[in-house]
Amino acid sequence: MSFRTIALSYLTPVVLCLIVSLSFVKVFIVSGLSPRLPIAGTFFEQFSWTIVPTALGLFGVTFLYWMISKHKDFELRVLFTVVVAPTSAILVIVVSQTLLMAITKAVSSFMLTVTILVSLYVAIFSAIFIMANALSTNVRNFIFIIYGSLLGSFLSLMLSTISLVTLLLSVALYDLVMLNSKWFNKTISDLSQSRGTGSKLAYVGRNVEIGIGELIFYSFVPAHVEAYYAFPLLVLTLMMTMIGIMLNLWMLNKKGVLSGLPGPIFLGLAPLIFSIFI
């Protein structure tokens, strides 16, 4: 397969994810719902907001890899359902309220009721579709782009900058270490040969697979910077993130398998970290 085809398959979902994420944050800001930069008051609160999300993120990634390596497809489908169904419902409420506030500057009790009902339907049907494994590849790819971008951008709005930087650096370093482990390589080999649930937790293009976690984490830094920092910093962040993504693309073409998080995260965080210390 040509490099052009691989590039198109890899860049399309990533660019779409960034567009959706930045568009959501823009509407969120216009709606007036955007809070001030969240900064924990006490040392304990700041410690909790930094360590707890990081520990949960690392544990979740490890547990996911372990379940894939053990071919626990049914358990993995149940876990995926438990996570995706309620978060999808929450995202429906958040996006709906954001759009209503941006358009009408008010939310009526009727619209709130309708939104809650729609979110319940989304949660129920997403659980049914995941458990029944009834979604086609194209539909699943579309949902992953929307879900990953919205979840990543929304979570980034809730974290302080220190918490976000710590979380992303920890996950990126962990991903880099895991790539060089024999267990990870065996898991990837099992995943590429599997037709079970583990093989369906990624955006699947033409000979390219991008994990849902990568789509989520790619949205973190640009969304956070857009919401709480100046536009020039956002431009630098996007430029550095795209350089990291292009680096990923080059390595993917050379090796076939790569750790997708370190490059875009390390480079994407560089302008933000630099701005904190100057």
pLDDT at 226: 92
Q: Which amino acid is at 180?
A: N
The pLDDT value given to residue 36:
60
Ordered mean pLDDT values, 10 residues apiece, the chain (278 residues):
72 91 90 62 64 75 71 76 86 86 75 84 82 77 89 87 85 77 59 51 76 85 91 94 88 71 90 85
The pLDDT of residue 128: 80
What pLDDT does 46 receive? Answer: 65
pTM given for the model: 0.83
Alpha-helical (H) ranges within the chain are 3-30, 43-69, 73-104, 109-132, 137-158, 161-179, 182-193, 212-228, 231-255, 262-277
Structural contact between residues 249 and 11, judged by C-beta atoms closer than 8 angstroms: yes
pLDDT value at position 37? 58
What pLDDT does residue 188 have?
Answer: 57
Judge contact between 256 and 208, C-beta under 8 A.
no
DSSP letter for each residue of 242-269: HHHHHHHHHHHHHHS---TTHHHHHHHH
Q: In the prediction, which pLDDT does 49 show?
A: 67
pLDDT tens column, 174-198: 877 776 666 555 655 555 554 454 4
Structural domains counted in the chain: 1
pLDDT value of position 179: 67
- The reported pLDDT for the residue numbered 267 is 92
Q: Which domain holds residue 149?
A: 3-277
